[in-house]
């Protein structure tokens, strides 16, 4: 192109360069602002339009499916490559620590839910109208939870989204790969380095795709929120406002506890939540810890955590660690007792806590899983099922908060364990986002 000569040409050329395409402009706005606007707009539109807003449901569905599409390849590739990069001893130690962390925080969370609900008594004075009935579910047996982890068909496990089974396969494949890398046989080491390059390359593809999906996320967030609010509506929320308040209050307290834990481990709180806000918001709208995994993984990378830790702790947390759900189960079971005018005995309270923790380990991080856990605890505590139908009516709104809390708990545990493992945390003060990551 020839150089501009006249003033007019120069001005036109300048305008061309400074005028950005709408797409470029969109990309330049920080993601969190776009998500914030989408969230608020979603609530407003949902409230104004009401149930007909479900026409935009496919826009949210696209977001969910894009995320879910990446979950299985992400777990498989990060774990194979993560496990191959640490010794089995380190892996065992990380596994033990994170399991301990998850169980302790979940036990605390369910006690918090029960305690707050006993204090505030949601549902007292509300009596059941109509003949709502809810289906009860059986809590899975401990033996079943463990044997089911071993997949009898890895392709079925992948296609059915069984996170723990896929993790099991990826871990043993990663250990075999590590063994090949250290072998004296040149053929094996060569093959191992080829597989490492393929898994690492595959992972880079997945990370790039996650980055792309996040650019779509504001549209998905808007649609998901608008539909959830439009379908539930303020009217449905009102009679259950105290239960909603207790649950969200419990979640805030649980996040305050996480903050204290992070401080104890000398984490930079601002930096932690700066990275955590995207997975928190994604969890809030998608209502799936499993589906949020790609975004949680990205946050762990931004926090400087190494693959050797997060590749294991995050997918594991997405399935077994559900602190928000535990708060919900605790509070909602007390609510059920109140609605039916039952005074809970100490034995019943202990049963609720135990079954709640166990059920949270055996239930997947998908939308609505907490409701199944609720039916399990209500049945085990010997309470009637009918009031569960009331709670089910606003489950979407409750699921948002609890999933957000679940994902935060996973990230906190991951950060804490990384801190205690040598070389698993890139020092925080100057670390922002590494250039080689999307």
Q: Which residues bind ligand ASP (CB under 6 A)?
A: 287-289, 322, 325, 365-370, 399, 402-403, 406
Residue with smaller CB distance to ligand ASP, 400 or 417: 400
Q: Measured between alpha carbons, how far is residue 324 from residues 178, 332, 342 in Å?
A: 36, 12, 25
Residue with smaller CB distance to ligand ASP, 84 or 407: 407
Q: Tell me how far, at minimum, the Cβ of 402 lies from ligand ASP, in Å.
A: 5
In angstroms, the CA 230 to CA 53 distance is: 6
Residue with smaller CB distance to ligand ASP, 325 or 414: 325
Q: Are 101 and 315 spatial neighbours (Cβ–Cβ below 8 Å)?
A: no
Q: Tell me how far, at minimum, the Cβ of 170 lies from ligand ASP, in Å.
A: 21
Residue with smaller CB distance to ligand ASP, 294 or 308: 294
Both tokens of 367, joined, read 């939308």
Collapsed DSSP state (helix, strand, coil) of residue 313 = helix
Q: Tell me how far, at minimum, the Cβ of 198 lies from ligand ASP, in Å.
A: 31
Q: Tell me how far, at minimum, the Cβ of 399 lies from ligand ASP, in Å.
A: 5
* Residue located via tokens 């759900």: 325
Q: Tell me how far, at minimum, the Cβ of 189 lies from ligand ASP, in Å.
A: 41
Q: Are 210 and 70 spatial neighbours (Cβ–Cβ below 8 Å)?
A: yes
Q: Write phi, then psi, for 99 (nearest 5 degrees).
A: -65, -45
Q: Are 224 and 285 spatial neighbours (Cβ–Cβ below 8 Å)?
A: yes
Residue with smaller CB distance to ligand ASP, 50 or 140: 140
In angstroms, the CA 325 to CA 263 distance is: 24
Both tokens of 298, joined, read 């990205």
Collapsed DSSP state (helix, strand, coil) of residue 358 = helix
Q: Tell me how far, at minimum, the Cβ of 288 lies from ligand ASP, in Å.
A: 4
Residue with smaller CB distance to ligand ASP, 165 or 199: 165
Q: Any idea what DSSP says for residue 237? A: H
Residue with smaller CB distance to ligand ASP, 180 or 410: 410
Collapsed DSSP state (helix, strand, coil) of residue 425 = strand
Q: Tell me how far, at minimum, the Cβ of 397 lies from ligand ASP, in Å.
A: 12
Q: Tell me how far, at minimum, the Cβ of 283 lies from ligand ASP, in Å.
A: 7
Q: Measured between alpha carbons, how far is residue 389 from residues 15, 130, 172, 296 in Å?
A: 60, 11, 42, 32
In angstroms, the CA 99 to CA 87 distance is: 18
Quick one: residue 123, left, alpha or beta (phi over 0 = left, psi -120 to 50 = alpha)?
A: left
Residue with smaller CB distance to ligand ASP, 224 or 369: 369
Q: Among all residues, whose Cβ is closest to ligand ASP?
A: 370
């Amino acid at each position: 192109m020839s150089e501009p000569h006249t003033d007019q040409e120069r001005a036109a050329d300048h305008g061309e360069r400074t005028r950005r395409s709408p797409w470029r402009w969109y990309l330049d706005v920080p993601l969190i602002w776009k998500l914030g606007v989408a969230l608020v707009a979603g609530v407003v539109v949902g409230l104004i339009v009401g149930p007909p807003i479900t026409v935009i449901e496919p826009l949210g569905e696209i977001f969910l499916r894009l995320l879910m599409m990446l979950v299985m390849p992400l777990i498989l590739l990060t774990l194979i490559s993560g496990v191959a990069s640490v010794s089995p001893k380190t892996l065992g130690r990380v596994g033990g620590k994170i399991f301990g962390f998850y169980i302790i925080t979940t036990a605390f969370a369910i006690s918090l839910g029960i305690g707050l609900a006993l204090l505030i008594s949601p549902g007292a004075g509300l009596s059941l109208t109509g003949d709502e009935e809810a289906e009860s579910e059986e809590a899975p047996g401990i033996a079943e939870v463990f044997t089911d982890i071993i997949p009898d068909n890895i392709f079925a496990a992948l296609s059915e989204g069984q996170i723990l089974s896929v993790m099991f396969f990826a871990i043993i494949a990663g250990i075999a790969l590590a063994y090949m890398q250290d072998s004296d046989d040149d053929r094996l080491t060569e093959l191992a380095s080829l597989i490492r390059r393929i898994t690492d390359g595959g992972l880079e593809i997945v990370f790039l795709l996650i980055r792309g999906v996040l650019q779509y996320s504001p549209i998905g967030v808007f649609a998901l929120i608008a539909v959830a609010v439009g379908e539930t509506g303020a009217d449905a929320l009102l009679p259950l406002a105290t239960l909603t308040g207790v649950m969200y209050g419990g979640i805030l307290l649980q996040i305050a506890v996480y903050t204290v834990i992070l401080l104890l481990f000398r984490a930079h709180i601002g930096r932690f939540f700066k990275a955590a806000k995207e997975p928190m918001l994604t969890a809030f709208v998608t209502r799936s810890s499993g589906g949020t995994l790609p975004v949680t993984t990205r946050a762990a990378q931004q926090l400087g955590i190494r693959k050797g830790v997060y590749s294991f702790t995050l997918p594991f947390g997405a399935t077994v660690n559900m602190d928000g759900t535990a708060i919900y189960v605790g509070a909602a079971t007390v609510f059920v007792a109140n609605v039916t005018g039952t005074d809970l005995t100490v034995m019943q309270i202990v049963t609720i806590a135990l079954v709640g923790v166990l059920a949270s380990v055996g239930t997947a991080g998908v939308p609505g899983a907490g409701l199944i856990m609720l039916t399990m605890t209500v049945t085990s505590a010997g309470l009637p099922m009918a009031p569960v139908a009331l709670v089910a009516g606003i489950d979407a709104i409750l699921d948002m908060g609890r999933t957000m809390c679940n994902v935060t708990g996973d990230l906190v545990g991951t950060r804490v364990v990384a801190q205690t493992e040598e070389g698993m945390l890139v020092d925080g003060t100057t670390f922002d986002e590494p250039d080689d990551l999307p």
